[in-house]
Amino acid sequence: MPKRYQINEEEVTMLEKARKENKNKNVEKRLKVLVLHAQGEKRAQIAEKTGFAKSYVSELVAKYCNKGISAIIENHYRGNHRNLSIEEEEALLEPFRKAAEAGQIIDVNDIKREYEEKLGRSIANQHGLIYYVLARHGWRKVMPRSKHPKKASDEAIGASKKLTVSSKKNWKILQTEQ
C-alpha cells in the first residue's frame, strides 16, 4: 500500500499565504488541492470539488511533497528555443543590425544562411523560423508602398474628380427634369 503524504500545519499556513498572493487561477486550483488534502479530504472528494482527475490529485500531492511548492507554483514551460539561445541569436544578428543601421538593405536569405551555419544543419523544414527569430528581436520588414503599374498619374486622377461648368449645368438640368 502506498504511503500517504502528510502536510503539516506550517506547510498549510505557507500554502494559504501562497493562495492569497497568487494571481493565476490554475495555480490557485492546484494549491486548493493541497489545502484540501491537508484538511484530510479523500482524493475522490478533492477531485469532485476541483474538477481534476483523481490521479492528477495524487500526482500534485506527491509532486508537492517530493519537490516543494515551487513545483506547484512556477511555470515550467519556457518556450521552444531548441536551436539557439536568445543571447546567441542576438550575437548572430548583431552584424546585420549594424549593416542595417548603416543603410544597407538586408536580405533574409543571408541571415538564414548564417543561422544554418551556426546550427550546422538546415532549417528548411521549419517554415518561417527565421521570421520568428527576427520578430523576437524587433526586426520588421520595411518596404515602399506598392503601386499598380497601370495606375493613372496624379494629374489625371485630379482632373477626373473636378466637375466642369457645363457638366454642373447638365447635372442640374437632369435633376430638375425628374
pLDDT digits 0-9 by tens, 4-19: 788 888 898 999 999 8
Spatial CB neighbours of 47, under 8 Å, sequence gap ≥ 6:
53, 54, 56, 57
Show me where the domains of the chain are located.
Answer: 9-73, 86-136
**pTM as predicted:** 0.47
pLDDT digits 0-9 by tens, 15-48: 999 989 988 899 999 999 999 999 989 989 999 9
pLDDT of residue 75: 78
Measured on CA atoms in the order 78, 83, 89, 93, is the torsion positive or negative? negative
Mean per-residue pLDDT of the chain: 84
Residue 32 CA to residue 60 CA, distance in Å, equals: 11
